[in-house]
Structure 1
Amino acid sequence: MSTMETRQRLPAAERRESILAAASVVFGERGYAGATTDQIATAAGISQAYVVRTFGSKEALFVEVARRAVDRIEAAFWAAIADDDGRPVRQRLGQAYIDLVADRGILLSLLHIFSLGSDPAIGPAGRDGFMAIYRLVRDEAGLSPEEATDFLAHGMLINTVLALQLHGSDDPDAVELVTQVCGGDLVHFRALAGD
Protein backbone atom coordinates (compact mmCIF):
# COMPACT_ATOMS: atom_id res chain seq x y z
CA MET A 1 0.00 0.00 0.00
CA SER A 2 1.42 3.38 -0.95
CA THR A 3 1.84 6.31 1.45
CA MET A 4 -0.82 8.24 -0.47
CA GLU A 5 -3.30 5.36 -0.06
CA THR A 6 -2.58 5.26 3.67
CA ARG A 7 -3.16 9.00 4.00
CA GLN A 8 -6.41 8.83 2.03
CA ARG A 9 -7.76 6.24 4.45
CA LEU A 10 -7.18 8.40 7.51
CA PRO A 11 -10.39 9.62 9.11
CA ALA A 12 -11.27 13.21 8.20
CA ALA A 13 -10.58 14.44 11.75
CA GLU A 14 -7.03 13.01 11.63
CA ARG A 15 -6.39 14.54 8.19
CA ARG A 16 -7.69 17.88 9.45
CA GLU A 17 -5.40 17.69 12.51
CA SER A 18 -2.39 16.82 10.33
CA ILE A 19 -3.09 19.91 8.20
CA LEU A 20 -3.42 22.09 11.31
CA ALA A 21 -0.18 20.68 12.76
CA ALA A 22 1.67 21.34 9.50
CA ALA A 23 0.11 24.80 9.18
CA SER A 24 1.16 25.64 12.73
CA VAL A 25 4.78 24.90 11.85
CA VAL A 26 4.72 26.69 8.49
CA PHE A 27 2.93 29.77 9.86
CA GLY A 28 5.25 29.74 12.86
CA GLU A 29 8.34 29.71 10.66
CA ARG A 30 7.16 32.00 7.85
CA GLY A 31 4.36 34.12 9.32
CA TYR A 32 0.97 34.64 7.77
CA ALA A 33 2.16 36.68 4.79
CA GLY A 34 5.10 34.40 4.00
CA ALA A 35 3.28 31.07 4.23
CA THR A 36 1.34 29.56 1.35
CA THR A 37 -1.27 26.83 1.28
CA ASP A 38 1.04 24.97 -1.10
CA GLN A 39 3.84 24.97 1.53
CA ILE A 40 1.36 23.78 4.15
CA ALA A 41 0.11 21.02 1.84
CA THR A 42 3.66 19.87 1.17
CA ALA A 43 4.42 19.82 4.91
CA ALA A 44 1.24 17.80 5.54
CA GLY A 45 1.93 15.44 2.61
CA ILE A 46 -1.35 16.20 0.84
CA SER A 47 -2.51 18.26 -2.11
CA GLN A 48 -2.91 22.02 -1.98
CA ALA A 49 -6.44 21.59 -3.33
CA TYR A 50 -7.33 19.42 -0.33
CA VAL A 51 -6.09 22.11 2.08
CA VAL A 52 -8.24 24.74 0.37
CA ARG A 53 -11.23 22.39 0.13
CA THR A 54 -10.95 21.61 3.85
CA PHE A 55 -10.49 25.17 5.16
CA GLY A 56 -11.70 27.43 2.34
CA SER A 57 -8.86 29.94 2.48
CA LYS A 58 -5.47 30.64 3.99
CA GLU A 59 -7.11 33.15 6.32
CA ALA A 60 -9.65 30.61 7.59
CA LEU A 61 -6.85 28.09 8.09
CA PHE A 62 -4.83 30.66 10.06
CA VAL A 63 -7.82 31.34 12.31
CA GLU A 64 -8.15 27.60 12.94
CA VAL A 65 -4.43 27.44 13.76
CA ALA A 66 -5.08 30.19 16.31
CA ARG A 67 -7.95 28.26 17.86
CA ARG A 68 -5.91 25.06 17.94
CA ALA A 69 -3.02 26.86 19.65
CA VAL A 70 -5.30 28.31 22.30
CA ASP A 71 -6.99 24.93 22.80
CA ARG A 72 -3.57 23.30 23.32
CA ILE A 73 -2.52 25.94 25.83
CA GLU A 74 -5.80 25.68 27.71
CA ALA A 75 -5.53 21.88 27.85
CA ALA A 76 -1.95 22.10 29.13
CA PHE A 77 -2.97 24.66 31.76
CA TRP A 78 -5.98 22.64 32.91
CA ALA A 79 -3.71 19.61 33.32
CA ALA A 80 -1.20 21.71 35.28
CA ILE A 81 -3.94 23.05 37.55
CA ALA A 82 -5.26 19.54 38.19
CA ASP A 83 -1.82 18.04 38.82
CA ASP A 84 -1.16 19.43 42.29
CA ASP A 85 2.30 17.98 42.89
CA GLY A 86 3.15 20.34 45.72
CA ARG A 87 4.69 23.05 43.54
CA PRO A 88 2.93 26.42 43.33
CA VAL A 89 0.34 26.56 40.56
CA ARG A 90 2.22 29.34 38.77
CA GLN A 91 5.32 27.13 38.54
CA ARG A 92 3.23 24.24 37.18
CA LEU A 93 1.63 26.55 34.60
CA GLY A 94 5.04 27.89 33.60
CA GLN A 95 6.43 24.41 33.07
CA ALA A 96 3.36 23.47 31.03
CA TYR A 97 3.91 26.50 28.79
CA ILE A 98 7.59 25.72 28.32
CA ASP A 99 6.73 22.11 27.46
CA LEU A 100 4.52 23.44 24.63
CA VAL A 101 7.72 24.60 22.89
CA ALA A 102 8.08 20.97 21.75
CA ASP A 103 4.92 21.34 19.63
CA ARG A 104 6.83 23.08 16.88
CA GLY A 105 5.04 26.19 15.75
CA ILE A 106 2.31 26.65 18.38
CA LEU A 107 3.96 29.49 20.30
CA LEU A 108 5.46 31.09 17.20
CA SER A 109 2.08 30.94 15.43
CA LEU A 110 0.56 32.74 18.41
CA LEU A 111 3.15 35.48 18.07
CA HIS A 112 2.15 35.96 14.43
CA ILE A 113 -1.54 35.85 15.31
CA PHE A 114 -1.13 38.53 17.96
CA SER A 115 0.72 40.75 15.51
CA LEU A 116 -2.34 40.70 13.23
CA GLY A 117 -4.72 42.15 15.80
CA SER A 118 -6.09 44.71 13.34
CA ASP A 119 -7.12 42.07 10.79
CA PRO A 120 -10.93 41.78 10.76
CA ALA A 121 -10.93 37.95 10.81
CA ILE A 122 -7.70 37.09 12.60
CA GLY A 123 -7.79 39.88 15.20
CA PRO A 124 -10.97 38.69 16.97
CA ALA A 125 -9.68 35.10 17.12
CA GLY A 126 -6.40 36.30 18.63
CA ARG A 127 -8.12 38.57 21.15
CA ASP A 128 -10.66 35.92 22.16
CA GLY A 129 -7.93 33.34 22.61
CA PHE A 130 -5.65 35.61 24.60
CA MET A 131 -8.47 36.67 26.91
CA ALA A 132 -9.56 33.05 27.39
CA ILE A 133 -6.03 32.19 28.54
CA TYR A 134 -5.94 35.24 30.84
CA ARG A 135 -9.26 34.28 32.41
CA LEU A 136 -8.12 30.69 32.86
CA VAL A 137 -4.94 31.61 34.74
CA ARG A 138 -6.73 34.28 36.76
CA ASP A 139 -10.01 32.54 37.55
CA GLU A 140 -9.23 28.82 37.44
CA ALA A 141 -5.59 28.82 38.55
CA GLY A 142 -6.34 31.48 41.16
CA LEU A 143 -3.68 33.99 40.17
CA SER A 144 -4.33 37.62 41.06
CA PRO A 145 -4.74 40.04 38.14
CA GLU A 146 -1.17 41.22 38.77
CA GLU A 147 0.20 37.65 38.86
CA ALA A 148 -1.79 36.68 35.76
CA THR A 149 -0.50 39.73 33.90
CA ASP A 150 3.09 38.99 34.91
CA PHE A 151 2.65 35.34 33.93
CA LEU A 152 1.36 36.27 30.46
CA ALA A 153 4.17 38.79 30.01
CA HIS A 154 6.69 36.04 30.79
CA GLY A 155 4.98 33.79 28.23
CA MET A 156 5.27 36.48 25.58
CA LEU A 157 8.98 36.77 26.41
CA ILE A 158 9.30 33.02 25.79
CA ASN A 159 7.61 33.51 22.40
CA THR A 160 9.98 36.37 21.58
CA VAL A 161 13.05 34.30 22.54
CA LEU A 162 11.83 31.54 20.21
CA ALA A 163 11.01 33.92 17.36
CA LEU A 164 14.43 35.55 17.58
CA GLN A 165 16.06 32.11 17.94
CA LEU A 166 17.96 33.34 20.99
CA HIS A 167 17.69 29.86 22.51
CA GLY A 168 20.37 28.71 20.06
CA SER A 169 22.73 31.61 20.61
CA ASP A 170 26.12 31.30 22.27
CA ASP A 171 26.19 35.02 23.15
CA PRO A 172 26.66 35.07 26.95
CA ASP A 173 23.95 37.69 27.46
CA ALA A 174 21.49 35.73 25.32
CA VAL A 175 22.32 32.54 27.23
CA GLU A 176 21.72 34.42 30.48
CA LEU A 177 18.36 35.77 29.25
CA VAL A 178 17.16 32.43 27.91
CA THR A 179 18.27 30.65 31.09
CA GLN A 180 16.15 33.09 33.11
CA VAL A 181 13.20 32.73 30.74
CA CYS A 182 13.19 28.93 30.92
CA GLY A 183 13.51 28.69 34.68
CA GLY A 184 17.17 27.70 34.67
CA ASP A 185 16.97 24.52 32.59
CA LEU A 186 18.56 25.70 29.35
CA VAL A 187 19.41 22.19 28.15
CA HIS A 188 15.78 21.06 28.47
CA PHE A 189 14.49 24.24 26.80
CA ARG A 190 16.89 23.88 23.87
CA ALA A 191 15.93 20.21 23.48
CA LEU A 192 12.24 21.13 23.38
CA ALA A 193 12.94 23.87 20.83
CA GLY A 194 14.71 21.38 18.59
CA ASP A 195 18.29 22.57 19.03
Structure 2
Amino acid sequence: MARMSAEERRESVIRAATSEFARTGYHGTSTEAIAKRVGVSQPYLFRLFPGKKAIFLAAAERCMADFAQMFAEAAERAEGEAAQKAMGDAYVKVIAEQPERLMMQLQTYVAVAAAEAEGDRELGEAVRAGWARVWDAAHLLLGADPSETTDFMGHGMLINCLVAMGFPVEHRVWQGLYPPA
Protein backbone atom coordinates (compact mmCIF):
# COMPACT_ATOMS: atom_id res chain seq x y z
CA MET A 1 0.00 0.00 0.00
CA ALA A 2 1.33 3.44 -0.94
CA ARG A 3 2.07 5.94 1.80
CA MET A 4 -0.17 8.96 2.09
CA SER A 5 1.24 12.34 1.18
CA ALA A 6 1.25 15.08 3.80
CA GLU A 7 -1.71 16.70 2.02
CA GLU A 8 -3.68 13.43 2.08
CA ARG A 9 -2.81 13.05 5.76
CA ARG A 10 -3.98 16.64 6.40
CA GLU A 11 -7.29 15.77 4.76
CA SER A 12 -7.66 12.68 6.94
CA VAL A 13 -6.89 14.80 10.02
CA ILE A 14 -9.58 17.32 9.03
CA ARG A 15 -12.14 14.52 8.56
CA ALA A 16 -11.20 12.88 11.86
CA ALA A 17 -11.16 16.21 13.67
CA THR A 18 -14.60 17.04 12.30
CA SER A 19 -15.92 13.77 13.73
CA GLU A 20 -14.28 14.31 17.10
CA PHE A 21 -15.17 17.99 17.44
CA ALA A 22 -18.75 17.31 16.31
CA ARG A 23 -19.09 14.71 19.03
CA THR A 24 -17.32 16.36 21.97
CA GLY A 25 -16.76 20.03 21.07
CA TYR A 26 -13.57 22.06 21.05
CA HIS A 27 -12.77 21.79 24.75
CA GLY A 28 -13.90 18.17 25.02
CA THR A 29 -11.74 16.93 22.14
CA SER A 30 -8.12 16.02 22.65
CA THR A 31 -5.50 16.07 19.95
CA GLU A 32 -4.66 12.57 21.16
CA ALA A 33 -8.16 11.39 20.14
CA ILE A 34 -7.75 12.99 16.71
CA ALA A 35 -4.31 11.46 16.20
CA LYS A 36 -5.60 8.04 17.29
CA ARG A 37 -8.57 8.23 14.89
CA VAL A 38 -6.21 9.08 12.01
CA GLY A 39 -3.60 6.53 13.04
CA VAL A 40 -0.73 8.96 13.52
CA SER A 41 1.29 10.14 16.49
CA GLN A 42 0.60 13.46 18.16
CA PRO A 43 4.03 14.78 17.11
CA TYR A 44 3.14 13.99 13.48
CA LEU A 45 -0.22 15.70 13.93
CA PHE A 46 1.63 18.83 15.05
CA ARG A 47 3.87 18.70 12.00
CA LEU A 48 0.69 19.01 9.91
CA PHE A 49 -0.98 21.66 12.09
CA PRO A 50 0.66 24.00 14.60
CA GLY A 51 -1.90 23.27 17.33
CA LYS A 52 -5.40 22.25 18.29
CA LYS A 53 -6.87 25.62 17.34
CA ALA A 54 -5.43 25.32 13.83
CA ILE A 55 -6.98 21.87 13.49
CA PHE A 56 -10.33 23.18 14.70
CA LEU A 57 -10.16 26.15 12.32
CA ALA A 58 -9.41 23.84 9.39
CA ALA A 59 -12.40 21.65 10.32
CA ALA A 60 -14.68 24.68 10.81
CA GLU A 61 -13.60 26.23 7.51
CA ARG A 62 -14.18 22.92 5.73
CA CYS A 63 -17.64 22.69 7.29
CA MET A 64 -18.60 26.13 5.95
CA ALA A 65 -17.04 25.49 2.53
CA ASP A 66 -18.88 22.19 2.22
CA PHE A 67 -22.21 23.89 2.90
CA ALA A 68 -21.48 26.62 0.33
CA GLN A 69 -20.58 23.94 -2.23
CA MET A 70 -23.73 21.97 -1.38
CA PHE A 71 -25.84 25.09 -2.05
CA ALA A 72 -24.07 25.63 -5.39
CA GLU A 73 -24.63 22.04 -6.48
CA ALA A 74 -28.28 22.09 -5.40
CA ALA A 75 -29.05 25.31 -7.27
CA GLU A 76 -27.04 24.40 -10.37
CA ARG A 77 -30.00 24.10 -12.73
CA ALA A 78 -32.58 26.24 -10.95
CA GLU A 79 -33.43 29.90 -10.41
CA GLY A 80 -35.49 31.93 -7.97
CA GLU A 81 -37.92 29.93 -5.84
CA ALA A 82 -36.86 26.66 -7.48
CA ALA A 83 -33.25 27.34 -6.46
CA GLN A 84 -34.34 28.25 -2.95
CA LYS A 85 -36.33 25.01 -2.62
CA ALA A 86 -33.49 22.92 -4.06
CA MET A 87 -30.99 24.50 -1.67
CA GLY A 88 -33.31 24.11 1.32
CA ASP A 89 -34.11 20.50 0.45
CA ALA A 90 -30.42 19.68 0.01
CA TYR A 91 -29.56 21.29 3.35
CA VAL A 92 -32.25 19.42 5.29
CA LYS A 93 -31.27 16.16 3.60
CA VAL A 94 -27.57 16.59 4.44
CA ILE A 95 -28.05 17.46 8.09
CA ALA A 96 -30.70 14.78 8.58
CA GLU A 97 -28.61 12.06 6.93
CA GLN A 98 -25.23 13.26 8.19
CA PRO A 99 -25.90 14.69 11.67
CA GLU A 100 -22.16 15.01 12.24
CA ARG A 101 -22.15 17.91 9.77
CA LEU A 102 -24.84 19.73 11.75
CA MET A 103 -23.11 18.99 15.04
CA MET A 104 -19.80 20.36 13.74
CA GLN A 105 -21.59 23.53 12.67
CA LEU A 106 -23.23 23.91 16.09
CA GLN A 107 -19.99 23.09 17.95
CA THR A 108 -18.29 25.80 15.90
CA TYR A 109 -20.73 28.42 17.21
CA VAL A 110 -20.24 27.20 20.80
CA ALA A 111 -16.45 27.33 20.42
CA VAL A 112 -16.61 30.88 19.07
CA ALA A 113 -18.77 32.05 21.97
CA ALA A 114 -16.47 30.42 24.52
CA ALA A 115 -13.29 31.75 22.88
CA GLU A 116 -14.63 35.28 22.66
CA ALA A 117 -15.80 35.16 26.29
CA GLU A 118 -12.14 34.45 27.11
CA GLY A 119 -10.96 37.38 24.95
CA ASP A 120 -9.80 35.28 21.97
CA ARG A 121 -11.28 36.78 18.80
CA GLU A 122 -9.21 34.82 16.23
CA LEU A 123 -11.59 31.86 16.09
CA GLY A 124 -14.66 34.08 15.82
CA GLU A 125 -13.14 36.17 13.04
CA ALA A 126 -12.33 33.06 11.00
CA VAL A 127 -15.75 31.46 11.56
CA ARG A 128 -17.59 34.70 10.80
CA ALA A 129 -15.63 35.02 7.55
CA GLY A 130 -16.57 31.44 6.62
CA TRP A 131 -20.21 31.98 7.50
CA ALA A 132 -20.23 35.20 5.45
CA ARG A 133 -18.91 33.20 2.47
CA VAL A 134 -21.83 30.76 2.90
CA TRP A 135 -24.26 33.70 3.08
CA ASP A 136 -22.67 35.28 -0.02
CA ALA A 137 -22.88 31.99 -1.92
CA ALA A 138 -26.55 31.56 -1.01
CA HIS A 139 -27.24 35.21 -1.87
CA LEU A 140 -25.73 34.91 -5.34
CA LEU A 141 -27.38 31.57 -6.05
CA LEU A 142 -30.78 32.79 -4.94
CA GLY A 143 -30.52 36.01 -6.93
CA ALA A 144 -32.36 37.51 -3.98
CA ASP A 145 -32.21 40.79 -2.17
CA PRO A 146 -30.35 40.77 1.18
CA SER A 147 -33.59 40.50 3.17
CA GLU A 148 -34.66 37.37 1.28
CA THR A 149 -31.24 35.81 1.72
CA THR A 150 -31.33 36.59 5.43
CA ASP A 151 -34.78 34.97 5.67
CA PHE A 152 -33.46 31.90 3.87
CA MET A 153 -30.44 31.63 6.18
CA GLY A 154 -32.65 32.27 9.21
CA HIS A 155 -34.86 29.38 8.17
CA GLY A 156 -31.70 27.28 7.98
CA MET A 157 -30.77 28.18 11.53
CA LEU A 158 -34.28 27.26 12.70
CA ILE A 159 -33.89 23.96 10.85
CA ASN A 160 -30.59 23.42 12.71
CA CYS A 161 -32.39 23.80 16.01
CA LEU A 162 -35.29 21.53 15.03
CA VAL A 163 -32.98 18.77 13.81
CA ALA A 164 -30.68 19.13 16.84
CA MET A 165 -33.70 18.80 19.14
CA GLY A 166 -34.88 15.73 17.26
CA PHE A 167 -38.16 17.02 15.83
CA PRO A 168 -39.36 14.66 13.08
CA VAL A 169 -40.07 16.45 9.80
CA GLU A 170 -43.74 15.49 10.11
CA HIS A 171 -44.11 17.59 13.28
CA ARG A 172 -46.17 20.77 13.03
CA VAL A 173 -43.16 22.97 13.91
CA TRP A 174 -41.78 22.22 10.42
CA GLN A 175 -44.74 23.83 8.65
CA GLY A 176 -43.56 26.40 6.15
CA LEU A 177 -39.95 25.20 6.18
CA TYR A 178 -38.12 23.00 3.70
CA PRO A 179 -39.09 19.35 4.16
CA PRO A 180 -36.85 16.88 2.40
CA ALA A 181 -37.82 15.92 -1.14
Cα distance, 1:184–1:30 mapped onto 2, change above 3 Å: same
Listed as ranges, the matches of 1:113-152 within 5 Å are 113-115=108-110, 116-117=112-113, 118=116, 119-152=120-153
Q: Find the aligned partners of 1:178 and 1:55 in 2 and give their Cα distance.
A: 42
What percentage of residue pairs aligned between the two structures are identical?
Answer: 32
Q: Which position in structure 1 is the counterpart of 2:162?
A: 161
Unaligned runs of 5+ in 2: none
TM-superposed CA distance for 1:53, in Å, is: 2.0
TM-superposed CA distance for 1:122, in Å, is: 0.8
* Conservation of the 8 A alpha-carbon contact between 2:142 and 2:149: no
Check if 1:51 corresponds to 2:45: yes
TM-score (structure 2 length as normaliser): 0.81
Check if 1:62 corresponds to 2:56: yes
Q: Find the aligned partners of 1:114 and 1:130 in 2 and give their Cα distance.
A: 10
Q: 1 or 2 for the larger relative contact order (CA 8 Å, sep ≥6)?
A: 2
Q: Deviations over 1:76-133 (max 9, x none)?
A: 1111221339971111111222233244533222222223152322101111011111
Equivalent residues, number: 174
TM-score (structure 1 length as normaliser): 0.75
Unaligned runs of 5+ in 1: 1-5, 189-195
Q: Find the aligned partners of 2:88 and 2:146 in 1 and give their Cα distance.
A: 16
Cα distance, 1:27–1:149 mapped onto 2, change above 3 Å: same
Q: Find the aligned partners of 1:126 and 1:148 in 2 and give their Cα distance.
A: 19
Q: Which position in structure 2 is the counterpart of 1:105?
A: 100
Give the alignment's Cα RMSD to 1 decimal.
Answer: 2.7
Q: Which position in structure 1 is the counterpart of 2:34?
A: 40
Q: Which position in structure 1 is the counterpart of 2:23?
A: 29
> What letter matches 1:76 in structure 2?
M
Q: Find the aligned partners of 1:178 and 1:44 in 2 and give their Cα distance.
A: 40
